Amino acid sequence: MIFSGEFHPFRLPVPGLWLDIFQKVKAAGFTGVSFYTNWGLLEGNPGQVVTDGVWSLEEFFASAKEAGIYLIARPGPYINAETSAGGIPGWVLRIKAQIRSMSEEYLNTTQKYVSTLGKIIADAQITKGGPVILMQPENEYTTWPGVTDFPSDTNKEYMAYVERQFRDAGIVVPFMDNDNEISGYFAPGTGPGEVDLYGIDSYPMRYDCANPYVWPTYRFSHDWQSTHQKQSPRTPFAIAEFQGGSGEGWGGVNQDKCAILVNEEAERVVYKNNYAFHAAIFNIYMIYGGTNWGNLGYQGGDTSYDYGAAITEDRQVWREKYSELKLQANFLKVSPAYLTAKSTASINGSYGVPDSISVTPVKGTDTNTNFYVVRHGDFTSLESTLYKLTVPTIIGNVTIPQIHGSLRLNGRDSKIHVTDYDIGGVALTYSSAEIFTWVKGPASSRVLVLYGSEGETHEAAFPLGLSKPILIEGPDIIVEQHTSMWILHWDVNSSRRVVHIGDLQVHLVWRNEAYNLWVLELPAENPIGNFTSMAKDRVLVGGGYLMRSAKIVGTKLDLIGDINATTTIEVISAPTVIKSISFNGLAYPISKTNLGSSTITVKYTSPGIKIPNISELEWKYVDSLPEIHSGFNDTLYTSLTRIESNNPRNLSTPTSLYAMDYGYHTGSFIYRGHFIANGHEKSAWLNISGGNGYGHSIWLNQTFLGSWVGEASIQNNVHNVKFSKELEQGKPYVLTVLIDHMGYDEEAPGTDAIKFPRGILNFDLSGHGQDDITWKMTGNFGGERYADLTRGPLNEGSMYAERQGYHLPSPPDEQWDLANPVKDGVEKAGVGFFTTSFDLNIPTGWDVPMSFVFNTSNKSSVDEYNTNNNYRCQLFVNGYQFGKYVNNLGPQTSFPVPEGILNYAGKNYIGLTLWALDQNGAKIDGFNIVPNNFILSGYQRPKPAPIPEWQQRQNAY
């Protein structure tokens, strides 16, 4: 089984932290990770594909291999993924041809990227000793714009073309697709474009994080198995993406709410429903979301791409949904019978359960093992329902529980009961309690872990041929001999019970205790190494915030892991006798328990790390919108003279004012409209596009005319401004317009959404024809020939400080004024740039995730945002833009910045742009850096990302 989670290296631009994520995924029992690469970030400048520094995948592949994680590569070229233009570079958007079509013009744009990335991925395939085992060409190509009879011959030809491109680049591993229409498109046998492994995508919990307890019902599946049998009978049922959380955007709610929408209960119900359909390739999107740093996101998302995923944006694993995944992934990993079993239809009221419960049998084909997936027929039900389950076993039919009482299904829960299950050569006749794992110990000993929710009654039975069960730890349970089996019967509570049945040790625990257990695979000979294999030896360990890896040398067990409190670590089972234990390289004295397991206690004392209060530091200031002062010289601005545009939106102006037509695609724009007054000017209107939640401000010469402060779902709008004074006839005037860019939209079926332009769409100046105004503009310095290859093509916008590179470390600030963004702010509508620096000195061995927090006065909901205090900030940390904050929209106020972007052993440079959209200026309502946890960690301290410093930029204006 491939049990994998999605993680995008480009959303954590510190290669040295990728191993940490892989280890956390592996520790949850996963075997794989699926990842996109982002064309738009790698080829911002046409023809120049950048694959070094934070963009290099070398360490990604090496770390996956080290952690023992197989990879599914998804290089696009289109990826969606809530990225700006779904990963299509800006320069590609301005071609005439339709994106993702067979047009040669479009196909040609992809060559360089596909051949470069194709080769990089090809070199990392398993056939060459690397971790890559599968590849997905394109992404959800099912929803290609404007086609009702999908897939047309051209669509098929296109898909086949993309596949050929990747094969030509050396890809030999199987191709998989992700059909979000679940229509069998491109399944094997469907002709041109067919893939080797047909896969589907599904997001049944949908995206309404604001109402996270409302479970939508219209996308829940009741029959994927039969659908799959029709669509792709010869390939395993593959789910290329299944909902692991959800994103959020401007003016919405924080993504913690998305973690509630897709929480541990949803995982139990909807994921187990997938196992009921016998999913054999299962990829959870996302397992770690990361950050939309440097403007890489699309218009619908803010800086956070936490996604409410099992691993938080700041790499922590405290969410219960992480632990629940660990239970599921580990169970499937030790249940090879599942892989050859066959799923049949689910029926309400079958197997003796009440009608409100649905049972889906997944029956062994070459084994006797059967799995019964039980949930409420109405899967959203909050009822707690008692039931008995009547099922066949090789010993005969049984009604569970046999001894007395009933099983119980809580609301929003689902269980997998098993019969005739193999514990490495020992038979389990049935168990109503769920299996976490089983492991082999020395000689013929085995440990089996069964769990249930507190208060539930459970039974497990074993053949009489085994010795009589003896309770050796914990409160009483009932042990009875029935016809030809031993039955254990117990009510789950928080005390562990341990039962010996000959060489088999059975642990009966409550779910929360199971959450504390870790199953660590021991390294094997190459080529398996750290990758998962059933044949591998495993160590079962209890305790600890996180256990990453284990190794046995002679009789010594070396554990690597993390703790956040004083922790007793219990080695419950190892394949050989263990006489000494080390944790993160230090030896600890062992105590033996009555069970024969070994424990060590690792002390945790708070490290007393000092983090500076950054709003109290000395800050330097430079005006960052000199455009609104008299005498500003915009000679080096781009003249907007193109009278034609390839854009599907027809021009409404004499020359194109679409920023994309001039190579500007990110951050923000400044437009300058020059005209000679004739005295008839009373007002002007502009139709401005910046993407959802965008804002703009308009000046006439030095006079502020007004701002659009933004609304969550408005991506462009018309703004009327009035001139309060008559203009002087014959005098030159300039309209200056600053526009925020929230990212391009993604591809949407039947639309050209992805090409929807940013910038000025249309305008009118009273008393003038449109021709009377000549426009100039700027975006990021250099446009597509962007200046900072290290931090990528999207990291900078149009503001003066950005154009000059002052957001980079060591700006030339000797002559700048002293001013503090919180205490002083900016005095009127405009933009100020503030910079400071400070040292961090985090002792090694401590993982201290940190966030920058705006609005420390703790306004938590959108209603409470001060809508009279309209300002926007960009946060630069050592030059990387790691936060776009909109005070009047939110929701995001806390911006995690990873170690490696932050220098944990030296100096850090912070840059802040403060754009006041109100006449009276703005002050930042609190700003600080806070540690989110102090974890004594076995992670490897990452090498910092490359942090080139400020250098004078030639011709910067």
Q: Indicate the residue among 259 and 400 with the shorter CB distance to ligand GAL.
A: 259
**Closest approach of Cβ 370 to ligand GAL, in Å?**
34
Question: Considering only residues 20, 138, 179, 201, which one is a binding residue for ligand GAL as defined by CB under 6 A?
Answer: 201
Which run of H or of E encompasses 515? Answer: helix 511-515
What does the H/E/C string look like for 839-905? Answer: EEECCCCEECCEEEEECCCCCCCHHHCCCCCCEEEEEEECCEEEEEEECCCCCCCEEEECECCECCE
Contact 31/22 with Cβ under 8 angstroms?
no
Q: Is 81 in the site for ligand GAL (CB under 6 A)?
A: yes
82 versus 459: smaller Cβ distance to ligand GAL: 82
6, 66, 140, 163: which one is catalytic? 140
Which residue of 37, 63, 80, 798 would you call a contact of ligand GAL, by CB under 6 A? 80
Q: Spell out, one character per residue from 264 to 303, where the chain touches ligand GAL: x when CB under 6 A holds, - when not.
A: ---------------------x------------------
Inter-residue contact 879 to 808 (CB < 8 Å): yes
> CB 225 → ligand GAL: shortest distance, Å?
22
Q: How far is the CB of 205 from ligand GAL (least distance, A)?
A: 11
Give bridge partners of residue 884 from the DSSP assignment. 874
Per-residue 3-state assignment (H helix, E strand, C coil) for 149-208:
CCCCHHHHHHHHHHHHHHHHCCCCCCEECCECCCCCCCCCCCCCCCCCECEEEECCCCCC
H helical segments located in 51-103: 58-67, 90-93
177 binds ligand GAL (CB under 6 A): no
Number of helices and strands (H, E) in the chain? 14, 54
Distance of alpha carbon 524 from alpha carbon 528, whole angstroms: 6
Residue with Cβ nearer ligand GAL (20 or 177): 177
Q: What's the rounded Cα separation, in Å, for the pair 952 and 450?
A: 65
Give the other-Cβ count within 10 Å of 102's Cβ.
18
Q: Burial-class residue 642 by CB neighbours within 10 Å (0-12, 13-18, 19+).
A: middle
Q: Based on CB atoms, which residue is closest to ligand GAL, 203 or 723?
A: 203
**Judged by CB, which is closer to ligand GAL: 178, or 837?**
178
Residue among 80 and 780 whose Cβ is closer to ligand GAL: 80
Which residues between 806 and 825 bind ligand GAL (CB under 6 A)?
A: none
Stretches 76-84, 432-440, 479-487, 857-865: which one binds ligand GAL (CB under 6 A)? Answer: 76-84
Task: Confirm or reject binding of residue 140 to ligand GAL (CB under 6 A).
Answer: yes
* Least Cβ distance, residue 242 to ligand GAL (angstroms): 10
644 is catalytic: no
Q: Are strands 586-588 and 580-583 parallel, antiparallel or unpaired?
A: antiparallel
**Least Cβ distance, residue 753 to ligand GAL (angstroms):** 14
- We find the least distance from the C-beta atom of residue 105 to ligand GAL, in angstroms, to be 25
Of 79-87, 115-123, 508-516, 679-687, which segment contacts ligand GAL by CB under 6 A? 79-87
Q: How many residues bind ligand GAL (CB under 6 A)?
A: 11
Three-state DSSP at 393 gives: strand
Residue 143 vs 348, nearer CB to ligand GAL: 143
> Smallest gap, in angstroms, from Cβ of residue 139 to ligand GAL?
5
Rounded Cα distance, 743 and 299, in Å: 5
Q: Least CB distance from residue 137 to ligand GAL, whole Å? A: 13
Does residue 804 bind ligand GAL (CB under 6 A)? no
**Going residue by residue from 710 to 729, which x/- string records binding to ligand GAL, judged by CB under 6 A?**
--------------------
Whole-number Å distance between alpha carbons of 532 and 68: 7
CB nearer to ligand GAL: pick between 139 and 323 = 139
Q: Single out the residue of 915, 918, 848 nearest to residue 884, CA to CA.
A: 915
Give the one residue of 43, 138, 241, 570 binding ligand GAL; rule: CB under 6 A: 241
Angle between helices 153-168 and 104-122 (to 10 degrees): 40
Contact assessment for residue 718 and residue 657, using Cβ atoms and an 8 Å cutoff: no
Min dist CB 92 to ligand GAL, Å, is 18
- Other Cβ atoms less than 10 A from the Cβ of 853: the count is 18
Amino acid at site 467: S
CA distances from 907 to 809, 810, 839, 850, 877 (A): 9, 10, 4, 15, 11
Confirm whether 241 is a catalytic residue: yes
Across-strand partners of 550? 559
Which residue in 6, 241, 784, 802 is the catalytic one? 241
From the list 73-81, 312-320, 757-765, 837-845, the region that binds ligand GAL by CB under 6 A is 73-81
Rg of the Cα atoms in the chain: 30
CB of 6 to ligand GAL, least distance (A): 8
**Closest to 292 measured CA to CA, from 916, 696, 880, 805:** 880
Residue of 84, 110, 125, 139 that binds ligand GAL (CB under 6 A): 139
Residue 677: φ, ψ to 5°: -70, 145
> What is the SS3 assignment for 390?
strand
Calculate ∠ Cα 192-194-197, nearest 5°: 170
Number of Cβ atoms within 10 Å of the Cβ of 947? 19
User: Least separation, in Å, of the C-beta of 311 and ligand GAL?
Assistant: 16
Nearest-angstrom CA–CA distance, 244 and 186:
25
Which residue's CB is nearer to ligand GAL, number 178 or number 716? 178
Q: Which is nearer to ligand GAL, 82 or 562 (CB)?
A: 82
Contact 284, 244 (CB under 8 A): yes
Measured distance CA(131)–CA(452) in Å, rounded: 35
Q: Is residue 202 a contact point for ligand GAL (CB under 6 A)?
A: no
Shortest distance in whole angstroms from residue 595 CB to ligand GAL:
45
Query: In the beta sheet, which residues pair with residue 593?
Result: none
Minimum CB distance to ligand GAL smaller for 59 or for 140: 140
Cβ closest to ligand GAL, residue 87 vs residue 364: 87
The piece of 75-83, 223-231, 757-765, 805-813 that touches ligand GAL (CB under 6 A) is 75-83
18-27 and 58-67 helices cross at what angle (nearest 10)? 30
Choice between 202 and 530, CB closer to ligand GAL: 202
Site for ligand GAL in 82-121 (CB under 6 A): 82
User: Residue of minimal CB distance from ligand GAL?
Assistant: 80
User: Which of 34, 109, 110, 180: binder of ligand GAL (CB under 6 A)?
Assistant: 180
At 456, list the tokens. 């539930």
* Closest approach of ligand GAL to the CB of residue 81, in Å: 4
Return residues touching ligand GAL (CB under 6 A): 79-82, 139-140, 180, 201, 241, 247, 285
**What are the catalytic residues?**
140, 241
